[in-house]
Amino acid sequence: MSNNRPQALPVQSENIPPEIKSAIQWCTWKYVSKDGKWTKVPLQVDGAGAKSNDPETWTDFDTVLSAYSNSKNRLDGISFMFAPPVVGVDLDKCRDPKTGEIQPWAQEIIWSLNSYTEISPSGTGVHIYAIGSLPSGVDIGMLNE
């Protein structure tokens, strides 16, 4: 494992669309070393663990932004927890952090979805937010195989 803790890009809250900001689907996160790798751990604003499948652990945008802004660098970012009708696409290793160039395959996906897209905290990928749902009979676990 690299001993160097990853440096997340700063949150640019002004770029997040109001439709996403208005959802009560937010948490904070920080980098934690696990099994020799740095991983992003979702947290509630009180420091307890947040869960992607438990809305009781999510809060509103203003609360997480305040917690992040006032954390004196104890938190690395804010996260949106996906729940219908908002879905997300995570494209990894598709962006050069020095030049900002997006790989052609990823640019095609971004253009075809024509939705809010942001640079991932690492600077090497992108996150796409869209309104949608999985086709009937498709389970999220099937997509991860």
What residues does each domain of the chain span? 16-83, 84-133
Q: What is the mean pLDDT of residues 61-68?
A: 97
pLDDT of 85-109, one tens digit each?
888 999 999 999 999 999 999 999 9
At 140, list the tokens: 């999220």
pLDDT of 39-58, one tens digit each?
999 999 999 999 999 999 99
Residue 2 pLDDT level (bands cut at 50, 70, 90): low
Q: What is the mean pLDDT of residues 106-117?
A: 96
Strands (E), 35-125: 37-43, 77-80, 86-91, 116-119
Q: Cα(121)–Cα(127) distance, rounded to whole angstroms?
A: 10
Sheet architecture: strand order including 77-80: 37-43, 26-34, 77-80
pLDDT of 136-145, one tens digit each?
776 655 444 4
